[in-house]
Amino acid sequence: MKNTIRVARAEQRITQQELANATGVSRQTINAIESGKFVPSTVLALKIAHTFQKPVEEIFQLEEED
């Protein structure tokens, strides 16, 4: 699964820690999601999208091998 969290964070000028605080997870979790090492739960994906005020499909995209 691909994601555009890093880009969305840059657009809104927020750190991984600020996003983690807003979504109730650790900074390490945000880092793992950004780097593709961890696939978030549906609830967490929705919280992240809500934080950026974007549809979840704009933040997360399935790759062909998914």
The answer to the question of residue 65 being in a domain is no
Q: What is the pLDDT of residues 22-50, one digit of tens each?
A: 999 999 999 999 999 999 999 999 999 99
CA–CA distance, 63 with 65 (Å, rounded to integer) = 5
Total domains in the fold of the chain: 1
The answer to the question of residue 12 being in a domain is yes
The answer to the question of residue 63 being in a domain is no
CATH code for the domain of 14: 1.10.260.40
Place of tokens 């991984």: 16
The answer to the question of residue 66 being in a domain is no
| pTM of structure | 0.93
Mean pLDDT of the chain: 96
Which residue range forms the structural domain that includes residue 29? 2-54
| Contact call for residues 34 and 10 (beta carbons, < 8 A) | no
